[in-house]
Structure 1
């Protein structure tokens, strides 16, 4: 069974799917006139400026809380383990292809969010529900695709979004600090339960504080390494670029080994195209779909261009890839190479924090998938089951669960990408409408500033 699941996983995460994911990003980039490059500074201001929140708009959480909830789910073990795996299997140049995937993935993430907000609905509790299942049903008139997405997402939530994460935390703490897996399981279950059982408003408040601290802790550790060893940074970046276009980059059949792993790990890290993050975007308080979409777009930039780059550059600088280490141990060894034992502890703590945040973020995704398939009455039962599964995952061997979840995670992308391509005209229309409003707002701010002076 394990071999069969691995074969299926290799197929669904193979070149056709990866080409479709990146191709969709390229197509949307062209249709939107390279929006992600033109509006990134403005999008970052929207995301991190509380005064820009529209409190009168419908929604459950702020722009910023929607962003951090999505980031909680995406800034996970993929940023530490996934990047290391890409460098080992594809070479240093895989980091370059992660960057390329992210740059086009920003357009994909933007489109997902704009559709999620446009087609969201209000449930029986007065909360917002949205995501691929709703824009597939209401926008594309293909409810059967929405049902498929919800099924795949519901299964992936319990696997990659839950048990696999708690298992990663328990393994890391046991190997680094000899903490029993059952003790880690109990602690995770209690802490996560306190957050998850409170629903999206509770999740939004926690991630708003937790995610920045978590990301800064890991990023600052990497930046210390880069600054202290700045003399070898140019050579490391040069190697990333030169290796990106040589050897395995253009070999290995339809998609070279290096490109394949760079693209695959980039998608695994930022989830652009998978359809998970727009579920959180739909809960945001916003007056225009385009406003929240720009905020959501910054998630890919922060996740891959910043956090994954820290991991990738540090690993290439250390030069330990190919020595038998891979995944998390390679990242730990690379940090320890420059910072001693403290470096390894930074990575271990990073894995714990990142995995915990993924648990919290994916609990909301799974909740919405289950509610779509059944009804809002299942939500309390779902939350309790999700919390219980955290402990089970922490104390079990989950190779088969990981494989099945990995397949479901990939299958989520297919109906979602169909929706993005089929509704790309709606994305363009909503974008033009909002950019016109944004231009007027900018002019009003300029006039107000001039009159104030």
Structure 2
């Protein structure tokens, strides 16, 4: 697993974590924002009228209403990115990361508008009578670049696991275990059966389920978040101030948080912003292609609302909950994950200024004197009796470290072997105090409000609904990609693998899953961004024709 995780990190260093990627993603959004004269602002009100059905026509072709298409797409975007993803971004980059999530969302509103319009415009009807669309169709039909469509479709199938499947159930299982003590394998088994029952029914059943889940889960989560924010109201303004103040400087050290550079916060904020609202990734256009309308731009209008609801509203609430509660800088008793734990040579303390400085550079890939540990550690009754090393877990100096066998319930006694900072004893589990991230961090933050300990149940229920609906939506994205690649015959084998992967991820390593997600997310985004840039004139003409049609309808 350590080798696999290292491979994913290597790939990510050339993809999502590469210097060029955030600039490319934001650059495309900024270009279309200017090129189309700020459609996310000018068309915002009109978008609400379209989704409300004001311009619907009974004779229009499609499988879903505008609202159902939006709900399906939102269910694909509102998931662990809003609960675990925001927490992960703040954990990595501090408050500054939230600012860059906002910027990604604002510019992403335009990117989403473009990709959805073009995907709907070049959609096709499949063998079973349903609609199929997405970037792969405009790549083939308009750009005459089928090879690029194939690359995108393959990436979409892989990303349906890496974005919409594995991290969703992984976070659900983690949250259910933390809150209710339910074993991950049990959570995965039950939900895998429910997932199979829903996705076998295709887009009609998927749309029916998601259009009911999305409003319900949003209300529950918003109420819970406001309960924490108002309880910690005196911390809200300082939290917002730190978001803006750190945006261009990076986040300074605070508590157990060792700090993050501007480049790191910028990259992680943009990356997690993309994971949250998927603007530019090309996934949501697959859901919107099913909408009943002969005006592709009208469905593009609807999609403008997605990043706004998903990131500007939901992610902001999560961010303020985490920042105002203060739990993001505090160390908590937790199980250490192997992929997130490193042994360092020498003894360091985060209360010593010089030590913090060295560790800061180590974590942010700067030049430093910190070296990883290689050697043996003697343990008696779960406690190390060897000195001269430091355990770094979840980007923080670990405290009260205990070594156990299996699940860590049985204290370990013996000798441990560490090579290049990694523990070689595969059967040893570690516990102690460190920073936490993902859904676990959000769960802790929700306890710091008017609902007290009951706040964790809001996160668990919200995460269950958010993430499960995301998994449902992404199964549809994947099977549309399979139809494009091999036809209808590929749908059922894909669904079987999708459910099996869902079950497996419920008890796999969280960090491993998140790193896989980072890679697969970009594999879809790069071809899609290239495609929409090549069709910029087509997009501009489509918008002009839409308003001409609207003016003509008004005169009738």
| TM score, norm. by length of structure 2 | 0.75
Other-structure match for 2:438: 327
Equivalent positions of 1:166-245 (< 5 A) are: 166-245=169-248
8 Å contact kept, 1:270–1:300: yes
1:85 equivalent to 2:88? Answer yes
Q: Residue 105 of structure 1 is aligned with which of 97, 105, 108?
A: 108
CA distance, structure 2, for counterparts of residue 394 and residue 202 of structure 1: 24
Equivalent positions of 1:233-382 (< 5 A) are: 233-247=236-250, 256-323=263-330, 324-338=435-449, 339-382=451-494
Alpha-carbon offset, residue 443 of structure 1: 7.0
CA displacement, residues 370-398 of structure 1 (integer Å, 9 cap, x when unaligned): 11110112223322332333223324447
Other-structure match for 2:138: 135
| TM score, norm. by length of structure 1 | 0.92
CA displacement, residues 414-453 of structure 1 (integer Å, 9 cap, x when unaligned): 1100001000111111111112333455677xxxxxxxxx
Alpha-carbon offset, residue 365 of structure 1: 0.6
Q: 1:302 to 1:392 in 2, by over 3 A?
A: same
CA distance, structure 2, for counterparts of residue 38 and residue 443 of structure 1: 22
1:39 equivalent to 2:46? Answer no
8 Å contact kept, 2:175–2:443: no
Other-structure match for 1:428: 540
Other-structure match for 2:12: 9
CA distance, structure 1, for counterparts of residue 63 and residue 42 of structure 2: 29
Structure number with greater CO (CA < 8 Å, separation at least 6) is 1
Question: Which structure would you say has the larger Rg?
Answer: 2
8 Å contact kept, 2:94–2:260: no
CA distance, structure 2, for counterparts of residue 95 and residue 142 of structure 1: 37
CA displacement, residues 187-236 of structure 1 (integer Å, 9 cap, x when unaligned): 21222122100001110111111111112211121123334444443333
Structure 1 stretch 27-36 or stretch 327-336: which is displaced more?
327-336
Alpha-carbon offset, residue 4 of structure 1: 1.8
CA displacement, residues 113-159 of structure 1 (integer Å, 9 cap, x when unaligned): 00011111111111111101111111111111111111111112133
1:28 equivalent to 2:32? Answer yes
Other-structure match for 1:392: 504
What SS does the aligned partner of 1:161 have?
coil
Q: 1:402 to 1:309 in 2, by over 3 A?
A: closer
CA distance, structure 1, for counterparts of residue 514 and residue 232 of structure 2: 37
Q: 1:188 to 1:247 in 2, by over 3 A?
A: closer
Structure 1 stretch 23-32 or stretch 169-178: which is displaced more?
169-178
Give unmatched runs, 5+ long, in structure 2. 253-258, 331-434
CA distance, structure 2, for counterparts of residue 260 and residue 159 of structure 1: 19
Equivalent positions of 1:143-162 (< 5 A) are: 143-162=146-165
CA distance, structure 2, for counterparts of residue 388 and residue 114 of structure 1: 33
CA distance, structure 2, for counterparts of residue 331 and residue 179 of structure 1: 18
Structure 1 stretch 429-438 or stretch 221-230: which is displaced more?
221-230
CA displacement, residues 246-297 of structure 1 (integer Å, 9 cap, x when unaligned): 3459x989x7222222211111100101111101111111120110001011
CA distance, structure 2, for counterparts of residue 235 and residue 153 of structure 1: 40
Q: 1:187 to 1:258 in 2, by over 3 A?
A: same
Q: How many residues align?
A: 441
Q: 1:275 to 1:53 in 2, by over 3 A?
A: same
Q: 1:331 to 1:396 in 2, by over 3 A?
A: closer
Report the RMSD for the aligned CA atoms in angstroms.
2.1
8 Å contact kept, 1:248–1:256: no
Q: 1:239 to 1:420 in 2, by over 3 A?
A: same
What SS does the aligned partner of 2:163 have?
helix
1:54 equivalent to 2:50? Answer no
Structure 1 stretch 359-368 or stretch 345-354: which is displaced more?
345-354
Alpha-carbon offset, residue 82 of structure 1: 1.4
Q: 1:18 to 1:175 in 2, by over 3 A?
A: same
What SS does the aligned partner of 2:447 have?
helix
Alpha-carbon offset, residue 165 of structure 1: 1.9
Structure 1 stretch 319-328 or stretch 230-239: which is displaced more?
230-239
Between structures 1 and 2, the one with greater helix share: 1
